[in-house]
Structures are given as structure tokens and as C-alpha cells.
Structure 1
Amino acid sequence: MNTPNYTLQQLTVYFLKLGTIGFGGPVALVGYMHRDLVEQRKWITEEDYKEGLALAQLAPGPMAAQLSIYLGYVHYRIIGATLAGLAFVLPSFLMVLGLGYAYVKAGGLPWMQAVFYGIGAAVIGIIAISSYKLSKKSLGKDWLLWGIALILAITTFITEKEILWLILAAGIIVWLYKSPPKLSKAVNGVFLFPILLQADAIWMNDKLTQIGWFFFKAGAFVFGSGLAIVPFLYGGVVKEYQWLNEQQFLDAVAVAMITPGPVVITVGFIGYLVAGIPGACVAALATFLPCYLFTILPAPYFKKYGKHPGIKAFVDGVTAAAIGAITGAVCVLAKRQLTDIISCVIAVVTILILLKFKKVQEPIIIVVAALLGLLIRNL
């Protein structure tokens, strides 16, 4: 392991900052990590980043949170992974707690939809740019990787969900094409992750236990983007347990989108509405625990065997599939969010600003978009 050119404190402060001002959802967040830690500060190598992104896509749980945990693990092992993950998630968790308190006291947040109108359109522009940069950097001129990315983008757009077995198949195809030797046991273990969790718990009537088990399953079964957790949460929170009504659930999703950090932090808001602060803490802990374990447990194998040609080819294939799935998710979100001329204009202007002015910070765009949304909706 190479000696890091940064301290654990510096890394923790970085993830605290990213968790505080990192808007745009999982696609944008993994893009920020690449820009900041690989390109600008050079704390993390391109190879380590790609391994982390591949593992985050393969294992269940929110992608951006898993990548932050893995990048913390690269040089500072379990303590680094733990502090990076906590620093990344904690700011947005505290924000959704505050919003949850205001929501309950006010009986709803009518202004939220107006703010979300502006922010949602700007977020599409931000994640589109992140997806473009990620594709250009990771796929290069490799026709096979571009083909895989295109197929995954199309299937994700059509089905509106990420298909895990296609992502795994992409890794196998590139491995067979570029380096046919036997696949390492480390990767075989990854295939077992989804299967190992196909078990249900004994039914418990205690509400906090119900919350804990439901959100643990949410964290354990949902792959890739934090946005993918929304349909799973809807089925349990609204339909099965009837903890929230339709409007409350939509407001919870909006809260996740207007706060920085991982989108999956909406679980904290939902937990607060269901059972106050204990409910929020249990929901967040249960959701992020699987993603933490599924990152640090296979991480040593990724580090040990990552330079093997077969493993490297497999990782390249999975990374290409991940980028394709992210691109498809951007298109799905754009279809739902950009419903009129004004929202389209906000998204396009955001893209042009980020392309033209490299130093413009995303939070500034988010604030301006939020104010525009309030102004437009009130007029």
C-alpha cells in the first residue's frame, strides 16, 4: 500500500464538506469524488476509484455512500472507511431531521414543491454533465465498453430500473474477451452477495423493530443508485405498512432531492414521520449498515486481486455497465422532471454554465434554481 499524501483528518473534512454541499444525487456525487480526489488533489488513483465504483455498483446499497466508504478504506482501512462514511452521511441526516421537525410542526411544507421545481431541473443538468465526464474518462476509445454502456443506458431507460444481472454479465463479457483465465474467487464472492440476503425475518410487532428490518432490507436489496430505493420504499411505507400517505411520501422524496448528500437519506425523514427521532436513527442506521458491510468485507479482495488481468477486465466491464445505467437513469429523471419549457431551459442553461465556466460551484446553481422555482410558481 502506497503512503497516502493526505491525512485521515483531511479526508474526513472533505467528506463532511461533500455531505454538506454536494447536490445532484448519486451520479453527481460520484462525479464530484472523481473530480476532487482523483483529478485535482490526486489523493486517490484512477485505478482505485474505478475499483470502488465497480464494487459500489455490484453490491447492494446507495452507490455514492458505498464509494465514499471504499475511498476511505483505500489508505486508512476500516477506520478510514467508517469515518468517511459517517462524515458523508451525517450532514444530510441532520438536515432531514430539521426538515422533518418543521414538516410535522407546520403540517406539511407547501413551498417544497416550488423549490423542487427549480432544483429538480438544475439537478438534471448537473448529473448530465457528471455522466458525460465519467463516460469520457472511463470508457476512452474502447468500442466494447461503449457498446456495453449504450445497452445498459437503453435497458435502464426502458425498464426504469437497474438490472443487476446485466451489469454482472457485462463484467463477464469483457473478462472473457480480454483475459480468459479463471475468475478470482474474490469476484465469485460478489455474485453471492444478492443470494446471501434472500432470507426473511421473524415477524415483529414492535414499530421500531419493523422500521429497522424494513429499512435493512431496503439497504440490502437495492442496487446502484440511491434513486432506485424509491419504488421499494413506496411499496412498503405507503402500501404495505401504511405509515405514510401518498403526499407525505412524495414530500419525503422531495426533501431528499433538495438536501445535499446521498438521496437515500430520505429514509431519515420517513423514519422521523413514522416514529420521531428514534425512528429516524433506526431507519438511517438500518439502511446504511448493509452498504457499509458489503463495502469493507470484499474491499481487501479488490485491493489484493484488483491488478489481476481477469479481475481488471471484469471491473472495466462492470464500470462501463454502471456508467450506462447512470446515463439511462439521467434520461428517466429528465423525462419525469422536464415537463415544460421553463424546466427544460433551466436544465440546458445549467449544462451550458458548467461547460463554459469550470469554476462555478454546483451549490450556487442549486440556490439560484431554488429561488427561480419559488418565483416562477408564485407568479
Structure 2
Amino acid sequence: MTEMDAPPDATATRYTLWQLVKYMLGLGTWGFGGPVALVGYMYRDLVEKRQWISEGDYKEGMTIAQLMPGPLAAQLAIYLGYVHYRIRGATLVGLAFVLPSFCMVVALGALYRAFGGISWMQAVFYGVGAAVIGIIAMSAYKLTTKNIGSDKLLWAIFLVSAAVTVVTKSEELWLFLGAGVLVWFLRAPPRLGSAGTLPATAVPLAASMGLGALDWHRLAQIGAYFAYAGSFVFGSGLAIVPFLYGGVVKQYGWLTDRQFVDAVAVAMITPGPVVITTGFIGYLVSGFWGAVVAAVATFLPCYLLTILPAPYFKRHGKRPAIVAFVDGVTAAAIGAIAGAVIVIAQRSITDWLTAALAIITAAVLWRFKKLQEPVVVVAAALIGLAAYPLMHG
């Protein structure tokens, strides 16, 4: 290992940077289920099984990912890369996590344009979408039991956050902040006159990435729009979908309704972050370089808004006030994830077969804990291809 690869404290690190990069490359290649499932995989593999990342570092990463705009899973991956290997780790881990799914959506975009649509995708998503509900539900259950336990205050925050997510069908920043402040004031109240301990957000940086003039060249227009989307949409990758619809379909007319639905389906049936659908959209609008510009513009703000506050959390994250704040935000975040399971289920479970697929998936993963999720996804895809014509004939 070279000097640049060495972590700040080698004695506290059980892995090399390249081991973590390899893991994220694999997760980006086979990690199905969207943001909720992906953050669950990271917890299971990096905190529980391999013990590369501590419980506290994971919670800090979840807090930053929830407080800052951008895709949840990608931000958490970037922060986990930062934990022991700082900016070099954050950069390489972030690229490794996003690159596989980007290559997949570009390839699918080429096929889509060549053959005028992907009619079989609806059948595949019919099965995969239902199975994903079971995968996400199991991830949410594990996060809940591990991080909340029997803490009554955190359970109250969890339930309120879940309910708000179900009702509003979105993840509310004010709820995460409010939960953090509530636990902070109840368990580690600040002394009068003391300096503030909440992390400052990089709003000026995000605000500088606006749309700009609408008469730019197409690539510049794509870059400006997707940078704006990546800078101001909070929550999981799914939260960006209605925002994108308003821009790429209604405002600019880059895609038709059918094309946009197909773009979302591509994101859901490919592994990695859901937000990678921006790469598919960019390809449909302006070819390969449109995909590159759209993807870079979407992920750059979340990268910057993760590494900028990271040093603060590393220096001050053990203070009682910060620990209490992080506990509150984490409880709200897990509640939002649990609520998202219900929201996504309402869209993916459309009949008795999809309901059965979701339940069976959760039961199988509960019974066979070592079963790999890609096996479940492939089986669900094959069931969808076979059953969809029969159910919708």
C-alpha cells in the first residue's frame, strides 16, 4: 500500500481503500432495490459482517445523507469512503458506486433508441418491482431493530416520520432537523451562551448551481438543469422522480410521458442508485455526452455537499450534543425509510400475484439469510416475463 493509500490511523482500519472500492464496485453492479435496500446492504456488510465501519461513523453518514440534498445511497457511500481515506477515498468510492449502473443505463439507452422502446421492460418491472418491496422491507426492519431498539423517544420519532412519509409521499428535511434538535435539547441541552453545535449546510454552494439562461447549447442546458435537480432535491433517489418529470417532460419537452416512465423503469430494474435514471434521460436527449453531462451534473453537488461537512462530523461527532442530534436524525431517517416501503408498495403491488411476490421475497430472505438478492431479482424478473402477458392479456 502506497503512502497516499494509507489511512490517517492505520491501527483503527481493518481494510484497504481498494478493498472498499472493490466492494462498492460490486454493490453498484448487483445492488438492487433502490436507496433503502442499498443503505441496508452497506450496514449489513460494512458494519455488521466485516466491521470495517463503526456504528457511529455509519450513523454520521446517514445524518449527512439525510440533511444534504441529493441521492441517499450515493451520499452514504461517499461518506463511508471519507471515513478513513478522506477525499481520495470519497472520490474513488463514489465513482466505483455509480459507474456500473451508469454503463448499464447508457447501454440500455442505446438499445432503446435503436429499437424504439423497451416493451419487455414493463413485464420485467412487474416482477422485479414486487420483489424489491420485500427486499426493502427486510432492510428497513434490520435498520429499525438495530438503531432504535427499545428507546421510546426514538420510537416516537420513527413513527411520526414514517407517518409523514406515507401521507406526503416525500421525505421532509424539517422533520429530520426537528428530530435531531428535539433529542439534542432533551438529552444534551446546550448551555446558555454556548456556541452552536449544529453543522452548517453549504446552501450557497448549492444555490450557485442554478439553471441559468435557457438559450444555452443543449449540453449546457442539460448540465444546468440536472445540477439544479441534484442540488435542491432532498431524500432518496425516488424523491427526484416527480421533480424530473416537471422538468424533462413538462418544462422542456425533452421526453414524452411514455419515455419518462420507461426511464424510471430502467432505474428500478438496474442495480445501483435510482438517480442514475438521469444518465438514461441524458442519453435519450443528447446521446452519450448527454448521459455523461446529466450524470456528472446530478452527482457532483451531492459529492461536494457530503465531503464539505464531513470534517466537522469527524472532529466533533463524539460530543454528547452531536451524538444526541445524530440519534434523532437517524430515527427520523429510518422512519422515513419504513414509510417509503409503503409508498413504493402502493405503486408496485397492483394485484394478488405482485402482493404474493413481495411477501414471499421477504419470507425467503428471512429464512435464508445468506441468499443473495440478485438471485431473487433474477427469479422475479423471469416470473414477471412469464406472468405479465397472462395477467394483462
Considering the TM-score relative to the shorter chain, is it more than 0.5?
Answer: yes
Kindly report the root-mean-square deviation, in angstroms, between the aligned alpha carbons of the 2 structures. 1.3
Distance 1:208 1:147 in 2: 47
Equivalent in 37, 47, 63 of residue 54 of structure 1: 63
Equivalent in 267, 270, 292 of residue 256 of structure 1: 267
Q: 1:127 to 1:359 in 2, by over 3 A?
A: same
- The two structures have a TM-score, normalised by structure 2, of 0.94
Distance 1:368 1:273 in 2: 29
Distance 1:8 1:163 in 2: 34
Other-structure match for 2:319 = 308
Runs of 4+ in 1 over 4 A off after TM superposition: 182-186
Equivalent in 94, 99, 102 of residue 108 of structure 2: 99
Q: Report the Cα offset of residue 336 of structure 1.
A: 1.4
Other-structure match for 1:338 = 349
- Number of residue pairs aligned between Structure 1 and Structure 2: 377
Q: Report the Cα offset of residue 249 of structure 1.
A: 0.1
Distance 1:155 1:225 in 2: 15
Equivalent in 190, 203, 218 of residue 213 of structure 2: 203
**SS at 2:200 equivalent:** helix
Distance 1:215 1:376 in 2: 37
Distance 2:342 2:9 in 1: 39
Distance 2:300 2:172 in 1: 23
Superposed CA deviations along residues 273-301 of structure 1, whole A, max 9, x for unmatched, are 00000100000000000000001111000
Equivalent in 293, 316, 320 of residue 304 of structure 2: 293
Would you say 1:232 and 2:239 are equivalent positions? no
The aligned amino acid for 1:203 is A
Q: Report the Cα offset of residue 195 of structure 1.
A: 6.5
Superposed CA deviations along residues 147-195 of structure 1, whole A, max 9, x for unmatched, are 00100100110011111111100000000000002686562403xx447
Superposed CA deviations along residues 293-327 of structure 1, whole A, max 9, x for unmatched, are 00111100001010000011001000001001111
Distance 1:194 1:28 in 2: 28
Would you say 1:350 and 2:361 are equivalent positions? yes
Other-structure match for 1:222 = 233
- Work out whether residues 25 and 96 of structure 2, in 8 Å CA contact, stay in contact via their aligned partners in 1: yes
Q: Report the Cα offset of residue 198 of structure 1.
A: 4.4
The aligned amino acid for 1:48 is D
Other-structure match for 1:246 = 257
The aligned amino acid for 1:50 is K
- The two structures have a TM-score, normalised by structure 1, of 0.97
Would you say 1:147 and 2:156 are equivalent positions? yes
The aligned amino acid for 1:118 is G
Q: Report the Cα offset of residue 5 of structure 1.
A: 1.2
Other-structure match for 1:24 = 33
Distance 1:104 1:245 in 2: 13
Distance 2:328 2:195 in 1: 15
Would you say 1:84 and 2:93 are equivalent positions? yes
Distance 1:39 1:332 in 2: 28
Q: 1:76 to 1:185 in 2, by over 3 A?
A: farther
- Work out whether residues 51 and 306 of structure 1, in 8 Å CA contact, stay in contact via their aligned partners in 2: yes
- Work out whether residues 197 and 321 of structure 2, in 8 Å CA contact, stay in contact via their aligned partners in 1: no
Distance 2:206 2:139 in 1: 32
Q: 1:135 to 1:195 in 2, by over 3 A?
A: farther
